[in-house]
Structure 1
Amino acid sequence: MSLPSYRRIAGATLRLSLLASGGVFALAAGAPALAQNARQAARNFDIAVQPLPGAIRQYMQQSGIQVAYPADLAEGVNASAVKGEFGSAEALSRLLGGTGLTFRFTGAGTATLERAPQSASGTIQLGPVQVQGDGGDYGITASLTSDPNATEGTGSYTIRQTKGVTRLDLSPRETPQSMSVVTRQQLDDQQLISVTDALRVVPGIVLSHDDSDRHFLYSRGFSTTIVQVDGLRSYDQDASASFLTQVDTVTLDRVEVVRGASGLLKGVGNPSASINLVLKRPTSELQGHASVSAGSWNRYRGEADISGPVNEEGTLRARAVAAFESRDNFSNYYHKEAQTYYGILEYDLTPDTVVDAGIEYQYSHTDGSTYGAIPLFWSDGTRFIAKRSWSPSSKGAYLESKSRKVFVDVKHDFSPDWQARLRLTDSRLIRDMLVRQIYGAVAPNRQTGLATIYNTTLTPDRKAKGLDAQVTGHVDLGGWDADVVAGYSWTRGVLHRTDTTKDQPTTLLADWDGEIAPLDDWSGASVVQRRTMERESSAYATARLRPLDGLSVILGTNFTTYKLRDVVNGTLSRKLDESGKFVPYAGVVYDFAKNLSVYASYAQIFSPASVYDANDRVLDPVTGDNYEAGIKGEFLDGKLNTSIAGFYLRQNNVAVAVPGETTPSGAQAYEGQDGVTSKGIEFEVSGEILPGWQVQGGYTYLHARTAAGSRVNTGLPQNQGKLATSYRFHTGTLDGAMIGANLTWQDATHYATSYGTAKQGNVGVVGLIGGYEVNDHLSLSIVLNNLFDKTYYDGYGLYTSYTYGAPRNVLFTARYKL
């Protein structure tokens, strides 16, 4: 498919969604009860006597109301039958009759279950249902989507349930592994516009900003390459986390991060972390917003998001999202233009079957881009110190990126206890990059003042397809309750990449102003043409058993087949066939107190490499074992989650960068090392600690060593702390105001080369946020980053170069919502 057809497809889908959204407006105007009176309007209910979880699922489907509750609240509870026409509140009240439970509405279309209060004699006192207003607890309109775990509209910095670790719907407390979620509310409050911004606040994640448009991700001492969209990997390891982190979050409901091996999510269990980007879904009620932003370095942004039902029955729903951004940077010659489009249609094919289909398209063009950054050293070993605004790039360098993702998702309920889901995805990522810059890997000569100019073009073109089919359900195994999921996934990716490198002239650094003569003649250039094919298929199964009250045992496995073919300049450079690879997982969770659980888990590590040695050969797969144990807490009816974990990894053939060595195409060269270990402690807290006060934060201690006892990566901190928080006022003269802050801190790092050793001491960066709701529709916000204008390195080491962290900067946003 040619590039122009991407734009035609994206534009056609967006226009279709916008037309559907126009129908949303018309329908909302003609039938306001759909958006305003969801609880009062009578609906037809047909729910049989059954265990409460299945009954609640049917209630949500038939009412459009999202119901949240702690999992242990529903254990052993049977719901009453509901048949006939009732308002949503009355239907839920009848459903809970005799269960000892009550409920309260927390938003226009959200409710939560609670234990009914009891008198001193132990009898249940059923008071009136609590309805806290259409705006929810804190004036935030709830989102009603087919995603039961959606965070949009919850107003929270935590999540009640996720499939992010085991593929089963579990609360964070029930999940025997470390995980973090950046919710829609946090994305909005902190103005986390790119996935890079979102990951920057996640405890345990280290971002290394190694050139103008790439961030490499690390967790537990190792690089992170698994990035999924809605649970399916859509981009290749070549793009991996580095370019994908530039994705705009306007299309996302949340960002999920699982630390440690992730073999249950993907046949290959990366020992670092896996990232899952969860897309927004259409809502069953009309909602929408538009916003404009302006900030430092000529940054301007606009976005729009409209969603709701298209027909009067509400069986067809649509959502359309668009964003545009233009900005410079604190470094010279840099300018970026970006566009994002997302359209999705969702249809209730039958009362038990939901089909949605959508497309996401993102485009960006950067002038003055770099590949690598400022040289770390002069040739005599002294440090090369430049101003923060200094750029090694020429004005003619550029990076253009186009990505397109098409998906179809079909969900069917066979019964209250059994569901099936089929997901298909097709994606393409194309980049075109011209690199003409001062090259840090060859240190400038201090005596002559001459520096090497790196001339190269890179044109990777990656196509990927994916499929995932699964069934989930509940079974009784001789008196033991068990939740199970089983399925099959398949992904295939093909990368075509051509790197063309011209001879490297020199220039006087003293005269460097980004101007360089055009290079029109590339004859005699070194050309590396690569075709890499990856194919992975996995049959997986997971079961959660409850042999005793308060005890859960989770067992799972993946049977994986992985194939790789890497052809360089017509010659097979690398061939890898792994058939029937067994990747097991085991976890246990025990509730030893009302709000506390202890857990332990084991996962095997098998991760094909994505980097090359000095001879341009892909390294062998990483193998090993991942152990983790800890304590998790759930407080305030699930509004606040805490965890403390200890982990230990042992791996073989871990990719370690070789200082000063590159591949034939000029990329960093790596070598595999055996006996590499990583151990440490992670602490995290997320959610509401007091009414209106949201927080996400954590601390990580890391001890990663080679078999010889040296640090695996000295450029990564051993101690790291992060905190993001906001507080909303709901009474008094400050009613409608929001204030908050964010903090990142890490201890000293260093990077050794043949020229010398670069060091950075402890770094702490503080930011502030604020906002004010002018009325029910208009809100204003401000984000101030790097409050104290700290000068620090945001990444260093790659190609013997470094980047500065952004100086103090500000972003203002005005947002209007329906």
Structure 2
Amino acid sequence: MPFHPTPSTFVLAGALRRGLFVSLLAATPLLPNLVQAQSSSVDQVREYAIPAGSLDQALNRFASAAGILLSVDAQMTEGKHSVGLQGRFDTAQGLSRLLAGSGLQAVQSDGGWSLQPIVQDGPLQLGATRVSAAEIVESAWGPVDGIVAKRSATGSKTDSALVEIPQTINVITAAEIKARGAQSVTEALLYTPGITGGGFSDRVKLFDEPTSRGFLPAPLYLDGLHLPYGGGSTGGALQIEPYSLERVEVLKGPASVLYGQNQPGGIINMVSKRPTATPLHQVVLEAGSYDHKSVAVDLGGPLDEEGKFLYRLTGLASDSNAEIDYVEDQRKFIAPSFTWQPTEDTRLNVFAQYQKDNSVPEAQGLPSVGTVFHNPNGKIDRGLFLGEPGVNDYTRNQYAFGYEFSHRLDDVWTFKQNARYARVDDRYTAPLHGYKFVANPSTGAKDQRYMTRYGVDWKQDNRVFGMDNIAQAEFDTGAFSHTLIVGLDYYHFNSKFDGLYDRNPPIIDLFTPKYGKPIKFGGRYRWDNTVTQTGLYTQDQIKLDQWIFVLGGRYDWAETDNKEPISGNHTNRKDEAFTGRGGIVYLFDNGLAPFVSYSESFIPQSGTSVGKTPFDPSTGKQYEAGLKYQPPGQNSFVQISAYQIDQENLLTTDLGNPGFSKQSGAMRSRGIELEAKAELSEALNVIVSASRNDIKYTKDNDGREGRHPAASPPLTASMWVNYTLLGDTPLAGLGAGVGARYVKGSYGDYYEGAFKIPSYTVYDASLSYDLSKSPLQLKGVKLALNVQNLEDKTYVANCTSEWDCYYGEGRRVVSSLTYDW
């Protein structure tokens, strides 16, 4: 049963941190003096957050917020729907967007505004503003038309403009994933600043384990709820199929105020495809290198004439080999979802997904001698299979089902509830790489040719249930506009592990491998671990003219219960933590939005000190300042930020008590990030990113103080350019893309004898042909060819130790045919 703290406990737990946020809140009314008063003209640019619904209600809310007189004939608007209005608009622009697709237009007169039917064909016209009737209005939980997203809910749990969140958020849209031909979430993040990989999970491809701002792993979320995670290379993690996603969003820095216990580097939230009011039908066929082949379908739309019942069905089947000998990968995936919207104010979305993976995996970790450094036998081949054919095997069954419910109670309050149960049951069997060379069994020479191996047979059954309850209020207090949320979330995660080992399997020749000797598994080890968390949080997004203030706080009750059934060991730890967040944004009329913010995180630590005292949670805090730029009238978004993250209470060796740990370790990450995404014209798209990160141990008893963690490159940069021919030309619809990814050499070991991995640059490319724009005018037909590592460069992506180095992916070519109808 969770402990309920007294008021004095709260004071002792976080008086200084809460004091910071109370001071910010108290100072908020004084800040208007810093802003010049704006004109009260009806054409003043204002911020609107009007949800989709009946056109009558949307127009009423707009007129009230804009302070205008709007005359409406109820017969003209009866039964019509509006997509809503999110963002900053003047009166004319706002009315035009609300009326898009209605067949109506707003006309201004001396006494106010009135509605009239549109008599001419073509786009709606209102003054200098032109909006196509088919224009897509972006939602934080919906699709993005192109590569430039402008809204997100990951950083606020509300439908917010990216420029209004005082923290860096990177959004990779479904259009970008498809344009670059990404086959996994890890690959989708390759052009995102501050995100690095290149290790076990990238090479084995069974898990997604990206590093954010130097901290590994960045926790994965699906639609705002935590996914099961088994602890890295032991397996036990869901891998989300990228074809099932509308977008992948990265919230940089601590996120505990909204999401509870987490690493301080940030989180990755994936947004699923949902039922749509617009019918869609798509089939995608793929074929490529290493006998890759797949078929995917995506169907959706209304089930009735009124649009109260919507559906979506996404499915995929794939089969491929790999550049590593003997490796195979098969996947079957299906995700149905259903939406019921009985009224404009009530919505229920029910969803499920099932995925089955069957693979022959290869862990691949190779010694630095033969990959980074010279080996007298030559370079170790990139396709080397370290395992045993017929032994290496991976199977995974993963399930997820749940619902999202929302109900608008009145003009102020909306209640939301998001719940999901997810389970992953997997088994990984393989001889893994060892940690030393052995003498040549034929000659007795120590020729650095033969290496030990380590056999594992791991099974995990991981289950998680999560529920997030949010009460959201939108109201004004004087000149201040508030979007307030009060939330209560619950998280229950259970992980069962059953492992067998062969600690002395047959050695392997790294240059001429011979297989067939038996693996003898034994030495069983088990765990049964449970983590529960209950969090109470609040956040207020406050708007005053062009100022945005975000203040939030959270109190968590967490319990970690670890059992080892064979040995009988059992530990139980209960933690409580307060975390806070605060930030300020100023919105200039030219699209510039400078911001500053402070955020905190915590994550429980397992184990006890020499005195049997449980360890406190590790804590993190980030200071960040940056500039976001969303130029008016252009489909582009630029952000640059500088940050410092400090993580404390890390475990390090207790020098006075060998075999025990103490909580005196600390780590600091400092850096600068830049990202720019722009659709410069209908024909030209550009993505540019760069990240400078310096992460090191600032306190440590294991000889790491002042050193950089392994596999943390200090500089990464990338650029992707795509151009499509348009107009009256025989090649209309033909497009080409080229990308480059640069990674500066990182350290391969943070203990004595650390070494550096060479820097590398990898080029990617694509060709596409939209036949609906070509002279053939084949509606809905698109061809594409994507190439990763165009030069087929052999390079080492990272090393976590001198025995654990990983090659980067070689050249891979995938062609696709997409048909939409």
Structure-1-length-normalised TM-score: 0.81
Counterpart in the other structure of 1:598: 594
- Are 1:232 and 2:225 an aligned pair? yes
Q: Which residue in 2 is equivalent to 1:800?
A: 803
Q: Could you tell me which of 295, 304, 314 is aligned with 2:297?
A: 304
Residue 716 of structure 1: CA displacement? 1.2
Distance across 2 between alignment mates of 1:814 and 1:348: 35
1:798 CA drift (Å): 5.7
Corresponding residue SS for 2:680:
strand
Q: How far has the Cα of 1:551 moved from its partner? A: 1.2
Which residue among 379, 382, 385 is the counterpart of 1:385? 379
Q: How does 1:734-745 map to 2 (within 5 A)?
A: 734-745=731-742
Contact map agreement 2:194 2:693 (CA 8 A) in 1: no
Match of 1:550 in 2: 546
The whole-number CA distance in structure 2 between the counterparts of 1:150 and 1:729 is 31
163, 166, 170: which one aligns with 1:173: 163
How is 1:304-453 mapped onto 2 (pairs within 5 angstroms)?
Answer: 304-367=297-360, 369-371=361-363, 373-377=365-369, 383=375, 385-395=379-389, 396-437=391-432, 439-445=433-439, 447=445, 449-453=449-453
Q: CA deviation at 1:443?
A: 3.5
Distance 2:331 2:82 in 1: 46
Partner of 1:455: 455
Single out whichever of 325-334 and 243-252 deviates more from structure 2. 243-252
Superposed displacement of residue 750, structure 1: 2.6
Aligned residue for 1:8? none
Look up the equivalent residue of 2:421 and give its one-letter code. Answer: D
Displacement of 1:101 after TM fit?
Answer: 3.2
Shift of 1:215: 4.8
C-alpha distance 56-229 of structure 1, shift in aligned 2 (>3 A): closer
Equivalent position of 2:190 in the other structure: 200
2:695 matched residue in structure 1: 704
| 1:364-397 deviations in Å (ceiling 9; x for gaps) | 1111x13452233489x96583111112122121
Deviations 1:540-567 (A, max 9, x none): 1100123x42111110011111110111
Structure 1 residues 731-790: Cα deviation after superposition (integer angstroms, max 9, x where no partner): 131322222222211111231388965532221111111211112221101101111222
Q: Quick one: structure 1 residues 241 and 346, their matched pair in 2 at CA, closer, same or farther if it must change by over 3 Å?
A: farther
Structure 2 residues without counterparts, runs of 5 or longer? 1-45, 125-129, 700-704, 772-777
Alignment deviations for residues 695-732 of structure 1 (CA, whole Å, 9 cap, x no partner) = 33211111112226523314211111122332333313
Structure 1 residue aligned with 2:768, among 758, 768, 771? 771
The question of whether the paired residues in 1 share the 8 Å contact of 2:55 and 2:77 is answered with: no
Q: Which residue of 2 aligns with 1:748?
A: 745
Q: Report the secondary structure of 1:707's partner residue.
A: strand
Q: 1:759 to 1:93 in 2, by over 3 A?
A: closer
Asked whether the 8 Å contact 1:79–1:95 carries over to 2, the reply is no
Q: Hey, what does 1:725 align to over in structure 2? A: 721
- Between stretches 214-223 and 309-318, larger displacement belongs to 214-223
Query: Do the aligned partners of 2:55 and 2:81 also contact (CA within 8 Å) in 1?
Result: no
Distance 2:84 2:352 in 1: 41
Q: C-alpha separation between the residues in 1 aligned to 2:532 and 2:230?
A: 12
Equivalent in the alignment of 1:666 = none
Contact 2:736–2:766 (CA under 8 A) maintained in structure 1: yes
In the TM superposition, 1:666-681 aligns within 5 A as: 674-681=665-672
Aligned residue identity for 2:53: Q
Query: 1:494 matched to which residue of 2?
Result: 494
Within a 5 Å distance, the mapping from 1:447-526 to structure 2 comes to: 447=445, 449-509=449-509, 513=513, 515-519=515-519, 522=521, 525-526=522-523
How far apart, CA to CA, are the structure 2 residues paired with 1:697 and 1:349?
A: 44
Contact 1:176/1:600 (8 A) holds in 2: yes
* Cα distance, 1:253–1:78 mapped onto 2, change above 3 Å: farther
State how far apart, in whole Å, the 1-side matches of 2:267 and 2:514 are: 38
CA distance in 2, matches of 1:730, 1:678: 45
Distance 1:552 1:282, change over 3 A: same
Q: Does 1:216 align with 2:209?
A: yes
Instruction: Note the alpha carbon deviations across 1:202-250, whole angstroms, 9 max, x for none.
Output: 2110013315234532121211342111101131353699875842111
Q: 1:612 to 1:335 in 2, by over 3 A?
A: farther
Corresponding residue pairs, total: 735
Change (3 A) 1:52 1:352: farther
Aligned to 1:529: 526
Looking at structure 1, the residues matched to 268 and 597 of structure 2 have their Cα atoms a distance apart, in angstroms, of 19
Are 1:602 and 1:625, in contact at CA under 8 Å, matched by a contact in 2?
yes
The runs of 5 or more residues in structure 1 that have no matched partner are 1-50, 664-668
CA change 1:90–1:797 in 2 (3 A) is closer
Aligned partner of 1:42 in structure 2 is: none
- Cα pair 2:72 2:114 within 8 Å, conserved: no
Distance 1:641 1:339 in 2: 36
Deviations 1:463-514 (A, max 9, x none): 1101111021212223321111111100101100011112413335168546
1:675 deviates by 3.2
State how far apart, in whole Å, the 1-side matches of 2:235 and 2:633 are. Answer: 38
- What amino acid does structure 1 have at the position aligned with 2:807? Y
What SS does the aligned partner of 2:386 have?
A: coil
Question: In 1, distance between residues paired with 2:579 and 2:473?
Answer: 22
Aligned-residue CA RMSD in angstroms? 4.3
Matched residues in 1 for 2:752 and 2:370: separation? 8
Is the 2:275–2:300 contact (alpha carbons within 8 Å) kept by the matching residues of 1? yes
Letter in 2 for 1:464: V
> Once the 2 structures are TM-superposed, how far is the Cα of residue 653 of structure 1 from its aligned partner?
3.3
State percent identity of aligned pairs.
Answer: 18
SS of structure 2 residue aligned to 1:635: coil
Larger CA deviation: 454-463 vs 565-574: 565-574
Contact 1:53 1:74 in 2 (8 A): no
CA distance in 2, matches of 1:407, 1:125: 42
Aligned match of 1:688 in 660, 670, 679? 679
Q: Which amino acid aligns with 2:671?
A: G
